[in-house]
Amino acid sequence: MEEFGLRDDHFEEEGQIISRDTIEQSIDGGEAYRIVQDGQKVGGLVIKVDGEKGDLDLLFVSPAVHSKGIGYAAWCAVEKMHPEVKVWETVTPYFEQRNIHFYVNRCGFHIVEFF
């Protein structure tokens, strides 16, 4: 929203791609981290780990610092923190092409389902 404004009508609640309730449930049920660069908060992520399975619930970086490797560095840090995880899963809206590119081409995720 900050970068592109209203793009379409794929929102959970008025003007929100992800509702506040969804975000709060993810944080309450997982491990939440801030992404900090040069002392400034530039993003965050929420993961859940259960043995060899991990879920990436949220990963976000401020549009002001997109394309600087920050999201990828944060993801690499998560993988280093949890070497026991063999399979990571995430979900992203099908219309978020930038997200899909990031997860598949940068982080090594595989698309297994569209819905």
Residue 112, in any domain of the structure = no
Residue 84, in any domain of the structure = yes
Q: What CATH number is associated with residue 43?
A: 3.40.630.30
Residue 50, in any domain of the structure = yes
pLDDT of res. 22 = 63
pTM above 0.85, yes or no: no
Residue 71, in any domain of the structure = yes
pLDDT tens for residues 81-91?
999 999 999 98
Domain that holds residue 39: 20-106
pLDDT tens for residues 42-72?
999 999 999 999 999 989 899 899 999 999 9
- Written in H, E and C, the secondary structure of the chain is CCCCCCCCCCCCECCECCCHHHHHHHHHHCEEEEEEECCEEEEEEEEEEECCEEEEEEEEECHHHCCCCHHHHHHHHHHHHCCCCCEEEECCCCCCHHHHHHHHHHCCCCCCCCC
Count up the domains in the chain and report the number: 1
Residue 8, in any domain of the structure = no
